[in-house]
Structure 1
Amino acid sequence: MKLSGLLFFSMLMGLGMSVGWAQQPEFLYGKVIDAETKEPVSFATIRIQNKAVGVISNDDGGFAIPLKLKEIGEILEITSMGFREQKILISEFASDEVNIIMLYPRTIELQEVIVTNRKKKQLSAKRIVKNAIEAILENYPVNSFSTVGYYRDYQKKQNQYINLNEAILGVFDEGFDEYDNESTSVRIYDYRENRDFERDTIAEKPYNYTSGVKVIDKAFLRNYGGNEFTILRIHDALRNYDIDSYSFVHRLKYDFIKNHSFSKGPDTYLTNESLYAIRFRKEDMRYLAYGTLYISQRDFAIHKMEYALYDKLKMTPSINGNKNVTTGRLIFEVITEYQRVDYKMFLNYISFNNSFRLMEPPKFKVEEMLMDLKRLCFVVEFNKEPEKQSALIKNNYSLIYKGKKLKLKEIIIKKNQAYIYPNFSNVDERLSFFKELNTSRNKDNMIDAKLFSFDARNIVDEEGNEINVPTYIYLNQFREFFVQQVKPNVRGPVDSLFMKKDRPIFKNQPIIKPDDFSELWMNTPLKTIDN
């Protein structure tokens, strides 16, 4: 591969994206773009040549590398499935703008065909997948090893990052012939709650299926007895090939083939290796699941697995998730990619994304209800001005006194207040009523609900928001781990300074930095002006 310079420099303004330069000055920033479609190349691998360290591009193709690498004169190797490898001199990176790197799709080259009397047997898609699963213990490490990488969890709201948490983690794995959740240990080298991005206190709360404030609609996310990183790792169906991972993969070794149908897609390449692209699909009355396996034509090693599950009965309000699906709401999506190191396959990255429903407080509501003892009426104060026609309908108010609904005489609307006059036969009866309510108030100035209660419904504000009705929005929760270093044949240290799996990553965990910590960095997403 010839060494080339940057193919194109540009601020992201020219690509329809604005970047606010509140970026960290000790980093250089780049963005990987498909040279033909001009679309971002998500999850491209960016490695420093001759060093076992690098990063993975974000969903928008963006990445960050330390500024010090420019002074050293390092070379970046950028690879992504289906594209030609690109090598870039870091010394050519601009320090004050986002550097655009174009990747060109790699076309399938026709090789010479030697005519013989023996025809090469064509394997079916199902047979290729079966061979790949049977070869897992041959292609993936069974000896102990370590991976070090950048972990993050965050949510996306209107396509903006919120509640971004980041960490550098060291993972000590005993090998694929051991149960991951029982034998793997994790060290936290560094972490932070990134306050440069918006924090939404409601969205970052735990799932609550009792109150319904935050739920996965029509689904339930198990915690598998662990924290955020444990949840992420259990969704690596390759590492957990013989235990239950997720629907409808379940146990990859036993259930995946019988639960799905398979077909061949166009072959592709990763660097110089030819890969089968095997599409799979599962569909029933309610759910649709499908994705693609990228399998080596040489030894059936699975390089990449894409899996997405949709609820067909729910229309999606966004375009998040698998772009091939146009109907149905995304429940979750998992993308897992492995890389070759010393003839074995090691994790390169895993991205797990599930949608969830968030109940937000009503946009239009009653702030308080007061008694006006001069006018002998009730004053209902709204948080904003109501639409007058609906606010004047008497049946939209319910005043219950000693178990009976009061009739209303008149309603007057003044800006964001409604003056409600109960209907009494005479003045003495009206005075007696308000006197009883006034004297029955407790020390908190509240009236006993058994004596009197109030409710308002079917009233809307000028924007059409119904009173006291919460709004529901759908967001996406992401958990991702991008490997920066792979260390074959390494065992974990013998001490107790490991992450507590039953405790959130960002809560009272032991932190210890390794000797080579200066070679690691957090690949924080580019912060746009909208953020």
Structure 2
Amino acid sequence: MIKNILFVLLFLIGFQITLAQSVSGKIIDSETGAPLSFADVQINDSNSIMSNTEGGFTVPEKNADDATMLTVSFLGYYTENLTIGELKNIDFLIKMRPGTFELETVYISNTEIDANSIMASVRKNLKANYTDSGNPIKNTVFFRESTVIRPKQVKLEMTQATGYSKQQIKDANKELDEFAAKMINYPPMQFTDKLYNYYTSTKIYKEKPVPVQKIEVVKAVNFKDANRSVTLDDMEKLGAQVLFKHLDATKHYRIKSGLIGVRDTIVSNNSFVTDNEYREFEAQAEKTNQKSARSRNWNFLYSTNILINGRFDFINNNELSELYEYSYAGVTESGDKNNRIFIIKFRPNKRRAKYTGTLYVSEKDYAIVRADYTLVEGKKLSGINLKFILGIKQAENFDKGTLVYKKRESGEYYLQYASQENGQYIYINRPLKFIEITEGDKEKVGFDFKAEMDEFEKEEYFVISESSISEGDYKAAQEPDFDYIQLGSYDPSIWKEYTTIEPLNEMKQFKSVE
């Protein structure tokens, strides 16, 4: 009898654990099998989640009951309604059917309309569609940042060393080669996740309304391996740790790079901090994680603001009809059966135009409900080329993104989801000399440093929920400081209780390197 009772209890415990697990799925095109990025998944007509670029999504534990209803929508496709139980029966794979596209001439109010006239109406209605009312609002936001450096080559070679034998120099270079190989085999990367409440309101300053914000971080996680540097500064410091094995730990050194100029960097085995870095550290001493999070949120919203940011000249530039070429690509249904969505393709028409992509425009109010954009191949946003003079070259040559907007009951639109990816090419070929600081300053160790790499940064911003609040609620909102949970590898359970963005496989596979 006791054995049977124990068996039943264990079965029930196992059953409860099964129920408590989050549920993951994937969304694809039923005809091509291609993943559908940034599809909207409504959970029981309340909170929503967004599929990632691989089409993946995860329903959190609190909503993972078999009876939970999912409403999956994607512009240009028929909406799918199914329960978690039904999702399990189709092996967690949702195949969405393409909707009907009309490619014939479009008429509105008996007037023929083309892509250029649609875009003219978009510009005319920009402020009305995207200017906030200023009323207090609370958004619950999930924000993910990732940085990945992909070295193509890294070479650090000791070329001279006072008092070293040939064998000692050879042994040192072997260790430096191992360091460089490790960087290439295990590309530096870092991921940061934050879930926070974002409060907005307005205050009067000099008789004008000014937007104000508060950030209350609920949870923040940093996935980073100290042995896999993610910035050039980190790489420099890791390299220094290797270099100082070949320097006198009791001495101080000055670094000289190249023939032009000396970098005023005082280094020792106990401290690798430049004079400028130290002053910056003192200036930032008062800066907290909370203040950084608030600043980061504000900067991101500015960088995705289609009203004022010059990156979106394909939307907000006064020379729309000349700068870009627009073409009508069809019309599809939206979630509102009484509202169609125009599909507008765009590409550069003049040399200074840099982007190509697709805009989805509401027929009712000419609001852009989604924008996909990519930097044209061969174009760059910024860069320098001093390769043959100083051994340095940099080019910001990759930029793409997606913006998804949702309409409030008050009529204006807010940014529900945004994805931004930026990349740059970096080339460095410089000699480095460590000069011992003595009365006469003498050279101690010299190196040749050569590196060629691509650096990619990605940011994702997702409003999980939005609600109106009172001015009193805004004033009562607190902004306590917080600490990041530091993890050396991805842990799928870290966000099990929350609605987030499904990580890409690269993040799931991230782990520390010994």
TM-score by length of 1: 0.57
Q: Which has the higher helix share?
A: 2
Shift of 1:349: 0.4
2:114 maps to which residue?
Answer: 124
State whether residues 190 and 224 of structure 2, in contact with CA within 8 Å, keep that contact through their aligned partners in structure 1: no
Q: Could you tell me which amino acid in structure 2 is paired with residue 525 of structure 1?
A: P
- 1:234 counterpart SS class: helix
Aligned-partner Cα distance in 2 for 1:229–1:207? 27
Shift of 1:188: 2.9
State whether residues 327 and 346 of structure 2, in contact with CA within 8 Å, keep that contact through their aligned partners in structure 1: yes
Q: Percent identity?
A: 18
2:158 maps to which residue?
Answer: none
Task: List per-residue Cα deviations over 1:172-198 (Å, max 9, x = no partner).
Answer: 3448x99xx951414233232343889
Q: Is the aligned partner of 1:234 residue 2:302?
A: yes
Shift of 1:477: 0.6
Shift of 1:521: 2.6
Aligned-partner Cα distance in 1 for 2:51–2:112? 36
- 2:121 counterpart SS class: helix
Aligned-partner Cα distance in 2 for 1:71–1:225? 34
Task: List per-residue Cα deviations over 1:195-221 (Å, max 9, x = no partner).
Answer: 38898423386999x99xxxxxxxxxx
Q: How does 1:489-500 map to 2 (within 5 A)?
A: 491=471, 493-495=474-476, 497-498=478-479
State whether residues 134 and 211 of structure 2, in contact with CA within 8 Å, keep that contact through their aligned partners in structure 1: no
1:102 maps to which residue?
Answer: 95
- 2:99 counterpart SS class: coil
Shift of 1:305: 1.9
Shift of 1:67: 2.6
1:49 equivalent among 44, 48, 61: 44
- Name the larger-Rg structure: 1
1:522 maps to which residue?
Answer: 500
1:90 maps to which residue?
Answer: 84
Q: Is the aligned partner of 1:484 residue 2:464?
A: yes
- 1:183 counterpart SS class: strand
Q: How does 1:40-79 map to 2 (within 5 A)?
A: 40-51=35-46, 53-71=47-65, 73-79=67-73
In structure 2, runs of 5+ residues without a counterpart are 1-18, 151-185, 237-260, 264-291, 381-394, 486-494
1:187 maps to which residue?
Answer: 215
TM-score by length of 2: 0.59
1:340 maps to which residue?
Answer: 407
Task: List per-residue Cα deviations over 1:96-139 (Å, max 9, x = no partner).
Answer: x982211111123699x99xxx9821123222122123224544
Aligned-partner Cα distance in 2 for 1:227–1:206? 22
State whether residues 405 and 415 of structure 2, in contact with CA within 8 Å, keep that contact through their aligned partners in structure 1: yes
Higher alpha-carbon deviation: 490-499 or 340-349: 490-499
State whether residues 45 and 54 of structure 1, in contact with CA within 8 Å, keep that contact through their aligned partners in structure 2: yes
Shift of 1:25: 7.4
Q: Given the superposition, is the C-alpha separation of residues 160 and 348 from structure 1 closer, same or farther in structure 2, using an over 3 Å criterion? A: farther
Q: Could you tell me which amino acid in structure 1 is paired with residue 97 of structure 2?
A: Y
Q: How does 1:295-310 map to 2 (within 5 A)?
A: 295-310=361-376
Higher alpha-carbon deviation: 194-203 or 347-356: 194-203
1:263 maps to which residue?
Answer: 327
Q: Given the superposition, is the C-alpha separation of residues 194 and 38 from structure 1 closer, same or farther in structure 2, using an over 3 Å criterion? A: farther
In structure 1, runs of 5+ residues without a counterpart are 1-23, 212-223, 315-327, 369-440, 457-467, 508-516
State whether residues 397 and 423 of structure 2, in contact with CA within 8 Å, keep that contact through their aligned partners in structure 1: yes
Task: List per-residue Cα deviations over 1:262-289 (Å, max 9, x = no partner).
Answer: 2222223333442112223336557632
Q: Could you tell me which amino acid in structure 1 is paired with residue 96 of structure 2?
A: L
Report the RMSD for the aligned CA atoms in angstroms.
4.9
Aligned-partner Cα distance in 2 for 1:103–1:493? 41
- 1:189 counterpart SS class: strand
State whether residues 433 and 446 of structure 2, in contact with CA within 8 Å, keep that contact through their aligned partners in structure 1: no
Q: Is the aligned partner of 1:150 residue 2:142?
A: yes
Q: How does 1:95-494 map to 2 (within 5 A)?
A: 99-108=92-101, 120-140=110-130, 141-144=132-135, 145-156=137-148, 162-174=189-201, 183-195=211-223, 200-203=228-231, 227-238=295-306, 241=307, 243=308, 245-247=309-311, 249=313, 252=316, 254=318, 259-271=323-335, 272=337, 273-282=339-348, 285=351, 288-310=354-376, 312=378, 330-342=397-409, 344=411, 345-357=413-425, 468-488=448-468, 491=471, 493-494=474-475
Aligned-partner Cα distance in 2 for 1:58–1:335? 11
Q: Could you tell me which amino acid in structure 1 is paired with residue 38 of structure 2?
A: F
Shift of 1:293: 1.9
- 2:76 counterpart SS class: coil
State whether residues 41 and 61 of structure 1, in contact with CA within 8 Å, keep that contact through their aligned partners in structure 2: yes
Q: Could you tell me which amino acid in structure 1 is paired with residue 366 of structure 2?
A: F
Q: How does 1:24-35 map to 2 (within 5 A)?
A: 26-35=21-30
Task: List per-residue Cα deviations over 1:135-168 (Å, max 9, x = no partner).
Answer: 2454445252332221111124569993111111
Aligned-partner Cα distance in 1 for 2:305–2:333? 22
Q: Given the superposition, is the C-alpha separation of residues 225 and 348 from structure 1 closer, same or farther in structure 2, using an over 3 Å criterion? A: closer
- 2:503 counterpart SS class: coil
Aligned-partner Cα distance in 1 for 2:224–2:191? 9
- 1:227 counterpart SS class: helix
Higher alpha-carbon deviation: 469-478 or 489-498: 489-498
Q: Given the superposition, is the C-alpha separation of residues 55 and 313 from structure 1 closer, same or farther in structure 2, using an over 3 Å criterion? A: closer
State whether residues 155 and 164 of structure 1, in contact with CA within 8 Å, keep that contact through their aligned partners in structure 2: yes
